[in-house]
Amino acid sequence: MAPKNTNIIEAKNLVKKFGDLAALDGIDLAIKEKEVFGLLGPNGAGKTTFINVLLGLLKQTSGVVYINGLDNTKHIEEIKESIGMMTQETVVEPELTARQNLTLFAELYHVPANMLEKRVNDALKEADLVKFADVKAGTFSGGMKRRLELVKSMIHNPPILILDEPTTGLDIQNRSQLWERIKELNKAGVTIILTTQYLEEADVLCDRIAIIDHGKIKAMGTASELKAMVGTGNVLEIVAKADDISDIVKILKKYNVEAQVKGDKITAALGKDSSKTFTKITNSIEDDKIQVLAISAHLPTLDDVFMKLTGSQIRDSTSAATDSRAKMWRGGR
């Protein structure tokens, strides 16, 4: 057993290979007890593989993982009991009522019979579904289903909750409501691992964030620490026609500004004297009679960090991987 400390999850030199492909390539990661930890990365980065190793759905090739002090190669059944999982796919039984959905899942997690009714009633209150307790879940709105999915994943009171893109497809109001519930769970002492395609969500909810790409951790820290990696000052964004991109990049080089190009969009950190540099660049573009479609400057965001580290903007995780994990996790219970 790993020594007791404030880390509820520890991965050391974690490797998972599929043939010659290393989906996880020496991951060193420690998640603290009672924190919200964000895991961000493009498709194929290793997020899904890492989560599947935590859940015991995949065995690592090498390296060690401790969850709540337990070695995941020796105590996986105990570990499963300590984790709740909310997949991107809403896994509720449409022909069952909200109460029946919760009761079924509570029984699968071996919630004691003398606690089951109270646990289900408490979950209905937390999800604001008391009035709809005996209504079939298939008739619920998207927001109601997600709230039911969240409390269902917590019905056995696990200390760890994995949220895989929990607000995908929700409108702003329902997303905001789910954010508040996630914050409440965390305040109650639940450790949360969050994957999301909304970088604003990670910025608002996460204590720390790891960016993973090609099976490696590219950066890890608070949102502020990650944003500082982009550089000081504002970030320049220019949208232009393809024929003009190279000319604009040359102008930026003239002012020692390093550009990143993605399609018709150029981004660049302007440095300490952002305002002066911005003015010089715009004047040069005008002098050279280059027509840009849009130009702006803003403070660094997580999207800028993501672009710098991975060379792309964050995009949807593949639904096939999420659906597969949902089915495996359901079957494993």
Instruction: Using DSSP, state whether 47 is helix, strand or coil.
Output: helix
More confident residue, 325 or 290: 290
Residue whose entry in the numeric block shows the structure tokens 């989906």: 23
Residue 136 pLDDT exceeds 90: yes
Q: What is the pLDDT of residue 241?
A: 94
pLDDT of residue 331: 40
Residue 114 CB contacts under 8 Å (≥ 6 apart), including other chains? none
Superfamily name and number for 231-299: YebC, transcriptional regulation domain (3.30.70.980)
Higher pLDDT among residues 299 and 329, named by residue? 299
Q: Is the pLDDT of residue 139 over 80?
A: yes
Residue-wise pLDDT for 26-43, tens only, equals 999 999 999 999 999 887
Predicted confidence at residue 322, as pLDDT, reads: 40
- The answer, yes or no, to whether residue 266 has pLDDT greater than 70, is yes
d(CA 299, CA 226): 13
Please compute the mean of the pLDDT values over residues 257-273 and round it to a whole number.
88
Residue 160 · residue 121 · CB < 8 Å: no
Tell me the sheet residues that pair with 74. none
Select from 1.10.10.10, 1.20.120.420, 3.40.50.300, 3.40.190.10 the CATH code of 7-222+316-332.
Answer: 3.40.50.300
Choose between 264 and 232: higher pLDDT.
Answer: 264
Span 232-257, average pLDDT: 92
Determine the average pLDDT of the residues in 222-245.
89
Domain definitions of the chain by residue range: 7-222+316-332, 231-299
The pLDDT score that the predictor gives to residue 301 is 86
**Residues 6+ away with beta carbon under 8 Å from 120:** 99, 102, 103, 106, 155
CB neighbours of 168 closer than 8 A, spacing ≥ 6?
A: 88, 197, 316
